[in-house]
Structure 1
Amino acid sequence: MSVLEARVRGADPSNRWCVMGHAIMYQGRLTPLDTNEDIVPGKLSGTEVEPRPMAPAGRQHRLASGSLGVVDISAATMANIGPAMSFYFGFGFLAVTAGVASPLTIVAAGIAIAFLANTLSEFSKAQPSAGGFITFVGKTFGPTSAVTTAILAGVGYIVAMASVIAVSGGFLSIILNHYLKWNVPWGILTVILTILAVILMIRGVSVSTKVAGFFFAFEITVLIIVAVVAIIQNGGHLSLTPFEPSHITNGMSGLAAGFPLAIYLFIGWENSAALAEETNNPRKNVPKAVFTSVAIMSISYIVFAYATVTGFNYNVTKLGNAAIPFITVANGTIGILAFLAYLAGMTSTLGALVAGTNSQARLIFSAGREGLLPSIIGKVHQERRTPMNAILTFIGISVLLIGGWAIAHLLGSGTMDPINFFAESSTMGTILVLIVYLLANLALPFYYKKYRPADFRVVRHGVLPILGALSIVVPLYYLAKPGQPTPYNWYPYIALAIVVLAVIYAAILSKRNPGLGDRVGSIVADE
C-alpha cells in the first residue's frame, strides 16, 4: 500500500508523525512499518508509538488457511475440468473437425496445457495467491494490467460457468425424460441445482471441495470402466488408425482447426492456483496438483477418445451425428454401464459447477480485496471464511446471462436448447480465458527477471512460456477466424470490445488510485 491510515488513541499531541508508504515518519525519523499493523501509543524504536496488529486493506478478509491438502486441490481441479461433461459435449465436434485421428489433437492439446502448467507452477512457487493469473500479470506489468486481467478473467469465467449452470439442469432433464419419461423444464432444475450448489460453497471450502472430489471420483471411475469395456468389445477391429497423422482430416490444418476444441476439454486445469490461500504448503502443493491433474486428464481423454472412435467403427459421420457419442458407445456395452454413464455426466456437471465456482469466484474475490474490482466482492463470511459475496456475484451474473440468452432465443429462433447454449457460452468465455493465459505466459520471464533474477532459468522461465504463448495463439486464431456461423462470428468483436473497455477502465482506475500497484499481490497465500 502507498498510504496507510493510522488511528491515534490518546496520543500525546506533541508527537508529530505521519505514514509514508510502508514506513512511519516519527519526529524526523523514518521507521519501517509492517503493513499488518496499526499505530497506537506505546513504543516503536525507542519512541512512544508502538505498532499494534491490524489488517491492511483486505487482510481482515483472509480465507481459511490450511483447509485443503494436495489431494483435495488435485481432485477439485479435475472436477472443475469435468471430464464427463466436457467430453460428452465436446468430442463429437472435435471428431467431425479433426477426423478419425482426433485423439492426436488431444495429445497436442495436452502438451500445450503442460506448457501453461509450467507457467502457473512457476508463478505459484514464487508468489502463491488466490488472485492467480490476475496477481501474476499485475505484479509483472503493473496495476493497469492487473485490473484489465481481473475484468477479462472475471467475465470469461462467468460466461463459461453460465454454460455449466445451464447444462446441469439440461442434462438432468435429459436423464429424467430418458428413464422416467418426465418432461421437467430444464430451467427449473437448473435453479434448484444452482441454489443447492451455492449453499454448499458458502458452507465451507473443505466440505464443498470434498463433495466435488467425490463427484469426480465417481465419474472418472465410470468413464474408465465404460471405455475399457468398449475397447474389449471391439477388440476384433482395433488398430492404431486414430493415432496416425495421415488420418487427420485436411492434415495439419484439420489438426489446428480441432485444436481449440481439444484445448477446451482441459479448461479448469488452473483451478488449484486460486485455492492457494486455503492450501497447506501452496508453493509445493499447487504445482503438484497442476501437473498431476494435467497428466491424468491427458491420458484419460486419449483413452476415452480411442474408445469412442473405435465404438463407432472409425465412422466419423455416425459419431458426429450422435447426440452424445460416448453415451451411445456406453449403450452398446452393458445396460447398467449406460445408466452409470448418464449419472457420471450428471455428477460431472455438478462437480464442475461447485469446483469451478469455488476457484473462479476466488479470483474476483481477490481482485475485490485488493481494490481492482468493487470492494464488496472482496469480503468473506466472518464465520466460515468463504468469499460469499464473490460467489453470489459470480453465480448471479451467470444466471442473468442464461436468462438474457434465453430471451434472445425466444425473440429469434423460439427456444433455447441448453446443449447448444453450452457450446455457445463456453466458446465465448474460452476466448477471454485464452487471452488471460496468453498474458500470463508473456509475464513469466519478465516477472522472474524483475523479482527473482537469481532463480531465472532460460528453459523454465523463457523457452517454455514462449511455447505456451504460441500454443494459445493457434486456438485464438481459429476462434476468431472469419466465416463462422452465427453467433460465433460475433464473438471476436465482443471479445475485442471487452478488452478495449477493460483497458480504458483500468487506466482510469489506476490514475485515480496511485497506490493501486502496491495492493496487487499484497496478500501472499502462505504469509
Structure 2
Amino acid sequence: MTASSSPAPAPSDGKGLARGQLGLLGSTVMGLASTAPVYSLVATLGFVITAVGVQAPIAFIVAFVPMLFIAFAYRELNRAVPDCGTTFTWATKAFGPWVGWLGGWGVAVAGIIVLANLAQIAGIYFWLLIGQTELSENTVVVTITGVVFIAAMVYVSYRGLEIGERLQNVLLGIQYLALALFVVFAVGSVFAGTAPAGATPVSLDWFNPLGFGSFDGFTEAVLLALFIYWGWDTCLALNEETRDPKRIPGQAALLSILVLMFTYVAVAVAAIAYAGVDALADQDDVFLVVKDALFGPWAWLLVLAVLISAVSSTQTTVLPTARGTLSMAVYHALPARFGQVHPRFRTPGFSTLTMGIVAIAYYVGMTFVSENLLADSIYSLGLAIAFYYAVTGYACVWYFRRELFTSAYNVFYKFLFPLLGAVLLTIAFVKSAIDMFDPDYGYTVLFGVGGVFVVGVGALLLGVVLAIVWSLFPSAKPFFRGESLNAATPVLVPEDPETITRSVDGGRA
C-alpha cells in the first residue's frame, strides 16, 4: 500500500489511552508520589549521615544536579515526542531499535525490583502501625501483606488514572503533613532548648560543597542520595493522558525534582540539628529513632507516613512501567497483547495486570529463595536507574544533533545539560558497579563477587538475551528492521499497529 493511500495518522488517533486526565498539579503529584519521599528518607538518610556527617544536606543538593540536568532532557524530548514509551521511544528514534529496547527494559527492571521492596516495606509497617511488632518480623505474614498491597494498587491502576490521581492526592498530602510536622517540631525543639543532648547547631558549613572529609565518603553519600530522586519521570510516562502532553509533563518533572530537593535538605537539616550525627548514623530508619521523643502520642503518624509512602509509590510505579510496555507493544517491540487498552477504563489493561503478576512472582520467589538475595537486588536498583536515565540524556543530544547550536537555548537545554547529566550518571553507574563487585558489598556472594553486582548487571544483560530472542519472532521484524519506529515515525501512533508500519514505510519510501 502506498503512502498516499494510507496517510500518516493524525495525532488525535493516539494509542487509545484516556485523554486529558492530569493537569500540572496532578502530574506533579504523580511524580512526587513515585519517589516515595518519606520512605526514601527512611531508607537513606541514616547512611548518608554515616558517610559524610553534617554534610548530608549538601550531599542531597549535589545529587540533585544530575537529576535536574536529565529532567531537562526529558522535557525537551517530550516536547518533540510526547510518547508514553519515554526512554524506549526516544532512544529508538535516536540510536535505533536495540538501544531503545534495552532502555525500555531498564525502566521495566527498575519497576519490578522496586515493587518488591515497596511491598516488603508496606507489609512491615502495616503491622508496626497496629502495634503487632511480632507479626512485622514474620516473613510469611509480611510477604502475604505485601502481595495484598501490590494487588490493591494494581487494581487501582487498572481502573483508571482519575481514581489513582484522587488517591495520590490524599496519600501524598499525609506524607507531606508528617514531614512538615517533623521539621517544625525538630526545629522548634532546637530553638526552645528542649532537644536531646546530641543536638547540633545548624551551620553554613553543612552546605559547603568543599567541606567533605574524604572523597570516598563524598561519592558514597552522593550515590546514595542520587537515587532517592528516582521516580519523577512518571510524569512523562503519563504524557498521553495529560491535558497538554507536550508542555505539562516536562514542567511537572522539574517541579517534582525541585520540591524533592527542598524536602530532603529540610528534613536532613532538622534531623541532624535535633538528634545529632551520632544518634542517626547507621540507622535503617531515622524516624523510629526520634519519633517518640519528638511526636509523643502522635508518633504513629510517622509510621503511617512510611506505610503510605510505600503504598503510594507502589501504585505510581505500576503506571509508567505498564505504559512503557504498552508503547513497546504498539511498535512491535513486545507481543501485541501488551498493547491492549481496556475499552472502558482506557488503561493498558494487559500490561498493568502483567506487571502486577511479575512483581508479585519476583517478590514472593526472591523472599523464599533468599531474603538476602532480595535485599541485594534492591541494592542493585541504582544500576538500572543510572542506565536508562543516562541513555535518555545521550538520546536527547543525538536526537537534536542538527539543531544543537542554532540558539543559546538549544545549547544549554538540548546539549550541555543533558550531556552533563548523562556523563555524571554514567560515572555513577561505573562507580556503583565497581563498588558492587566487591564480595563484601551487600549480603551475598555469587561466583566469587558481590551478589549485588551479579544481580544488577545480570538483570541488564538478561535484557540483551530477551531482545535477541524476541527479534527472532516474525512479529518483531518490523521493529528490529527499523520500520515500525524510527526518526520519521509520527509522534502519536494509531491504535492499529498495521497502520503504523504502512505509514512509516510510506514515509521512508
1:433-452 correspondence to structure 2 within 5 Å: 433-449=385-401
Deviates more, 1:137-146 or 1:273-282: 137-146
8 Å CA contact 1:150, 1:373 repeated in 2: no
SS of equivalent to 1:67? coil
Identity %: 21
Structure 2 CA distance for partners of 1:388 and 1:104, relative to 1, 3 Å: same
State the match for 2:58 in structure 1. 104
**Within 1, Cα distance between the matches of 2:263 and 2:316?**
19
Matched, 1:343 2:304: yes
1: CA distance between counterparts of 2:297 and 2:175?
A: 14
CA–CA distance in structure 2, aligned partners of residues 85 and 270 of structure 1: 18
What's the offset of the Cα at 1:82? 0.8
Asked whether 1:33 is paired with 2:9, we answer no
Aligned to 2:483: 518
Q: In 2, Cα distance between the equivalents of 1:471 and 1:426?
A: 22
Does 2:80 correspond to 1:126?
yes
What are the Cα deviations for residues 148-202 of structure 1, in whole angstroms up to 9, with x where unaligned?
2222221222112221122111221222236898877212211222222122111
Structure 2: distance between partners of 1:387 and 1:229: 43
Partner residue in 2 for 1:243: 207
Aligned ranges 1:108-187 → 2 under 5 Å? 108-177=62-131, 185-187=141-143
- From 468, 477, 480, the equivalent of 2:421 is 468
Q: Does 1:378 align with 2:339?
A: yes
Change (3 A) 1:246 1:68: closer
Conserved in 1, the CA contact under 8 Å of 2:404 and 2:411?
no
Q: How does 1:192-211 map to 2 (within 5 A)?
A: 192-211=148-167
**Alpha carbons 1:153, 1:436 under 8 Å: kept:** yes
Counterpart residue type for residue 70 of structure 2: L
Would the aligned equivalents of 2:84 and 2:237 in 1 still touch at CA under 8 Å? yes
Any residues of structure 2 matched to 1:17-56 within 5 Å, and which? 19-20=1-2, 23=3, 31=4, 33-36=6-9
Task: Name the SS for the 1:334 alignment partner.
Answer: helix
Give the superposed CA RMSD.
Answer: 2.8
Q: Following TM superposition, by how much is the alpha carbon of 1:494 offset from its aligned partner in structure 2, in angstroms?
A: 3.8
The C-alpha deviation readout for 1:241-288, integer Å capped at 9, x for no partner, is 5334566342x3311111121012111011100000100111110111
Cα pair distance change 1:180/1:232, threshold 3 Å? farther
What residue in structure 2 maps to residue 233 of structure 1?
189
Separation (CA, whole Å) in 2 of partners of 1:180 and 1:360: 34
In the TM superposition, residue 322 of structure 1 has moved relative to its aligned partner by: 3.6
Aligned residue for 2:239?
A: 276
Decide which of 216, 220, 232 is 1:257's aligned counterpart. Answer: 220
Asked if residue 395 in structure 1 is aligned to residue 356 in structure 2, the reply is yes
Contact 1:378-1:389 at 8 Å conserved across structures: yes
In the TM superposition, what is the alpha-carbon distance from 1:95 to its structure 2 partner?
A: 1.5
Q: CA deviation at 1:369?
A: 2.1
Q: Secondary structure at the match of 1:364?
A: helix
Partner residue, 2:443: 486
- Cα distance, 1:151–1:239 mapped onto 2, change above 3 Å: closer
Question: Secondary structure at the residue paired with 1:166?
Answer: helix
Change (3 A) 1:358 1:508: closer
Q: Give the number of aligned pairs.
A: 469
Q: Which residue of 1 aligns with 2:501?
A: none
Query: Which has the larger displacement, 284-293 or 152-161?
Result: 152-161
Whole-Å separation in 2 of the counterparts to 1:259 and 1:278: 34
Residues in 2 aligned to 1:506 and 1:196: alpha-carbon distance in whole angstroms: 31
Q: Given that residues 272 and 290 in structure 1 are in contact (C-alpha distance below 8 angstroms), is that contact kept between their aligned partners in structure 2? A: yes
1:282 match: secondary structure: coil
Q: What is the match of residue 7 of structure 1?
A: none
1:459 to 398, 412, 415: 412
Cα distance in 1 for partners of 2:442, 2:142 equals: 26
Which residue type is aligned with residue 406 of structure 1? Answer: T
Write out aligned runs for 1:419-438 (5 A): 421=374, 424-438=376-390
Match of 1:86 among 26, 36, 40: 40
CA distance in 1, matches of 2:145, 2:443: 28
Is the partner of 1:99 in helix, strand or coil?
Answer: helix
* Unpaired stretches in structure 2, ≥5 consecutive residues: 194-199, 495-509
**What's the CA shift for 1:329?**
2.4
- SS of the aligned residue for 1:202 comes to helix
Range 361-370 or range 214-223, more displaced = 361-370
**What TM-score, normalized to structure 1?**
0.82
Shift of residue 35, structure 1, vs aligned partner: 4.0
2 CA distance for matches of 1:234 and 1:179?
Answer: 31
**Distance verdict in 2 for CA 1:232–1:62, change over 3 Å:** same
SS of aligned partner of 2:343: coil
Q: 1:461–1:451: structure 2 CA closer, same or farther, 3 Å change rule?
A: closer
Q: Is the 8 A contact 2:236 2:249 kept in 1?
A: yes
Deviation sequence 1:472-507 (CA, Å, 0-9, x none): 133213321232243382333444444444345535
Verify: 1:293 aligned to 2:249, yes or no: no
User: Which stretch of structure 1 is more off in the superposition, 167-176 or 136-145?
Assistant: 167-176
CA distance in 1: counterparts of 2:306 and 2:152, whole angstroms:
18
Query: Is the Cα–Cα contact under 8 Å of residues 84 and 323 in structure 2 kept in the other structure?
Result: yes
* Kept after mapping to 1: 8 A contact 2:153/2:314: yes
Q: How far does residue 424 in structure 1 lie from its aligned partner after superposition?
A: 3.2
**1:360 is paired with a residue of what secondary structure?**
helix
| Structure 2 letter corresponding to 1:486 | Y
Which is greater in Rg?
1
Alpha-carbon distance in structure 2 between the residues aligned to 1:476 and 1:226: 33
AA aligned opposite 2:206: P
**Higher relative contact order, structure no. (Cα contacts within 8 Å, ≥ 6 residues apart):** 2
CA distance in 2, matches of 1:283, 1:246: 39
2:276 counterpart (301, 313, 323) = 313
Secondary structure of the residue aligned to 1:515 is: helix
Aligned-partner SS, 1:232: helix
Shift of 1:99: 2.3
Once residues 9 and 394 of structure 2 are traced to their aligned partners in structure 1, the CA distance between those partners, rounded to angstroms, is 32
From 295, 320, 325, the counterpart of 1:364 = 325
Q: Which amino acid aligns with 2:444?
A: P
2:173 to 217, 227, 230: 217
**Pair 82,389 (structure 1): closer, same or farther in 2 beyond 3 Å:** same
